Structure 1
């Protein structure tokens, strides 16, 4: 077995493809599958989403309390069985217009999709920080840009793709996720370890998960409020802000700007609610309220996924809990928001004044949460606050010398900013206070070569002085 926390080779392109397949299945579900449900049994969609949320929360709780119950083969095999068996029942329910078969099939498929979501999240946690950021930013951008096309997919084709995408995502991600299940074997549960190492594990009701829940309530509301023929309103322009973030990640070697993305997300969501509360501005035009709401929630989902992946990477023993519980809380928030959207739709039919009042009330609640609830919370602090749990069989944290701890920090920074092996050597020497003459002699290279390496290191780290470099390592 590999040492705890050791990264296996994993490709950002593979991670991008796996995540895009999961997100694509979600777009097809909302735009193509769920509208078919309404003609047979309208509550089938809510039951299936509830099953997905319950499965994710159940996996997260099991991984937190009794991780030995979650074998990789059992989880993967169950996911495949659910997707195939549930898919058959779902197809029968749609063809025969059978509510019982439809609910059973959709619910079983939802269980399988939940397991696939965890598998893909764990695979992304195997990537270097920059690679994970690229995969996540690109996948969410493409998904949001293509989501308007989901409603135009023929029903039978949409159903087939909805069932095939998760299976393909599982095939791409299962190998990379395996080590997280193996790491948990023979070790105490995270709930036990968190007693003595509280900074290493996220509590189930931490501020991060509360943030995920409330933002996803806004997403669920946007999904169902003023929906057309059972399908959510969409706009291609929603993807523009996400594309800008993706370009930033591509051309910048700095850390993924999670908190900046969340702030941009909050502005977009509040602007979307404001337009929703002003019918004269929102109707008859290019659905600017929808574009803003979907963009805001897409931005937040991108940042939240990156936060969950980064936390899982810092502590592999808590990775399954973090990914499963985080996605479960998000699904629960979407469910609550969707219910609010449905209630709002029904209320506005009899009283048009509520068409403006309901979004205005949600705007007030959301703004209050952003200004008060998130005043002292940042994603960066949530990630950096997780203390990695070292493999006690090889390198217990308590046994690390100061030099070993310093070397580990240098290695982590080099990995985060995608430094080359030689740049990482130069960076470590600079962090120890070595001058360029020392580096020239130690590496047996010319002065100009050293200058070039130092220049590249400074550029990738986004710094301009030696003191900034030292502060980065110590911070």
Structure 2
């Protein structure tokens, strides 16, 4: 998938051509089915020699990697069409269905030889079922706009998204090597991993509807912290290794879903084409996983998981450091850091976006940001009480706090400060530069 994603990005940058139509989806389904068939042949031992076995395994891996990378493009295209909030909601539902499917597969895998045959048969049938579902889903979309979205847009490199995906990949590579390669009783279908993914969905649902978080807080303050905590639990043995695996499963699930939504934001709100958004971060993610796996294997050198304390602690510190670096500085100014799922991207002439940027710089709380936005819109304190359904005393407290943090003494001063900040941002970059920098 790493190589295939890089090839997709290079090819799209060169020719800007899109594959489309039901025939293309049928081809992808066939590719994934052939990959499953070759893998099944390897699993039942049709490769009688070691050379034949390696050839079968390599062929199935190459076919599955290419098919998976291409399918990722089609999924990103759908998510980019439906938008960020729907991507989160549909992603949570899809993850719960996946968790249920994994639990069923784990149960079937524990059966006798018939269970293995059932899983192999399902692997052959599922690709066509999924692609038929995809074709049904998009048949009502206007094809010219759906496949042509972003064709003429400048292919600006989404640097921050790519770096974030690379960090995620490195952490996941270390996790798989440390937890699954050197710990024989753990596997991707274990109760710990499946339960962790379900917890990740619940956590995302809670943060999405109980707190109005932007992408910066979603990714770096919640997801990265959760992953770091998981590695610390594994390293220090608090609550046992299984607890750490559950936390890691939840953290990676949470981060995956938020990054899917971010991809939808870059496509729908910022005009980038789906093949570019899917393949650039995708290549970084999978190459990062390879690098993380090699690092984990080299550090552990075949030793048991109990000797992974230093490695787990290092990864936790690395995640905290990257979270601080990626969530601070100029990347908040024009980027997607202050964008909330379901809202449009930051524009220089958008006072709401400027308010969010200023609030992030000055540690204004989420509720205070809502009050500040209404104040800048010219709302009176009584109107703010009605809109937010809070008491006058609560609004008074929030207003006083906003004024203190912004260094102003009146609503008009606050409005003037925000307008001045908007003009400064426009002078810093100009309209064209803002359009480019926000994608980075």
**Shorter-normalised TM-score: what interval?**
0.5 to 0.7
Aligned to 2:157: 203
Task: Say which of 193, 202, 216 aligns to 1:259.
Answer: 216
Contact in 2 for aligned 1:145/1:238 (Cα 8 Å): no
Contact in 2 for aligned 1:217/1:338 (Cα 8 Å): yes
The structure-2 alpha-carbon separation of the partners of 1:71 and 1:256, relative to structure 1 and needing over 3 Å to count, comes to farther
Post-superposition Cα deviations, 1:92-115, rounded to whole Å, max 9, x if no partner, equal 222234212232123213322222
> How large is the RMSD of aligned CA atoms in angstroms?
4.4
TM-score of the pair, normalised by structure 1: 0.60
Query: SS where residue 298 of structure 1 aligns?
Result: helix
Contact in 2 for aligned 1:312/1:320 (Cα 8 Å): no
Give unmatched runs, 5+ long, in structure 1. 1-51, 195-200, 388-401, 407-430, 435-450
The CA distance in 1 between the partners of 2:79 and 2:294, in whole Å, is 31
Contact in 1 for aligned 2:170/2:290 (Cα 8 Å): yes
Please state how far the C-alpha of 1:128 moved relative to its aligned partner: 4.4
Query: SS where residue 68 of structure 1 aligns?
Result: coil
Aligned to 1:239: 198
The structure-2 alpha-carbon separation of the partners of 1:225 and 1:167, relative to structure 1 and needing over 3 Å to count, comes to farther
TM-score of the pair, normalised by structure 2: 0.64
Task: Say which of 272, 281, 291 aligns to 2:230.
Answer: 272
Give unmatched runs, 5+ long, in structure 2. 48-52, 110-115, 352-375, 390-394, 400-411, 423-440
Query: More deviation in 177-186 or 119-128?
Result: 177-186
The CA distance in 1 between the partners of 2:78 and 2:148, in whole Å, is 22
Query: SS where residue 39 of structure 2 aligns?
Result: helix
Contact in 2 for aligned 1:274/1:359 (Cα 8 Å): yes
Contact in 1 for aligned 2:233/2:241 (Cα 8 Å): no
Query: More deviation in 64-73 or 76-85?
Result: 64-73
Aligned to 2:133: 172
Aligned to 1:82: 31
Please state how far the C-alpha of 1:152 moved relative to its aligned partner: 3.9
Please state how far the C-alpha of 1:162 moved relative to its aligned partner: 3.6
The structure-2 alpha-carbon separation of the partners of 1:255 and 1:133, relative to structure 1 and needing over 3 Å to count, comes to farther
Matched, 1:130 2:85: yes
Please state how far the C-alpha of 1:145 moved relative to its aligned partner: 7.1
Please state how far the C-alpha of 1:177 moved relative to its aligned partner: 6.1
The CA distance in 1 between the partners of 2:292 and 2:312, in whole Å, is 12
Task: Say which of 116, 120, 137 aligns to 1:159.
Answer: 120
Query: SS where residue 380 of structure 1 aligns?
Result: coil
Please state how far the C-alpha of 1:304 moved relative to its aligned partner: 0.6
Task: Say which of 318, 327, 339 aligns to 2:282.
Answer: 327
Post-superposition Cα deviations, 1:128-177, rounded to whole Å, max 9, x if no partner, equal 44322211233335545765665443233333334433433322224666
**Number of residue equivalences:** 347
Task: Summarize the alignment of residues 101-116 of structure 1 with structure 2, pairs less than 5 Å apart.
Answer: 101-116=56-71
Aligned to 1:360: 313
Contact in 2 for aligned 1:184/1:317 (Cα 8 Å): no
Contact in 1 for aligned 2:5/2:282 (Cα 8 Å): yes
Please state how far the C-alpha of 1:292 moved relative to its aligned partner: 1.6
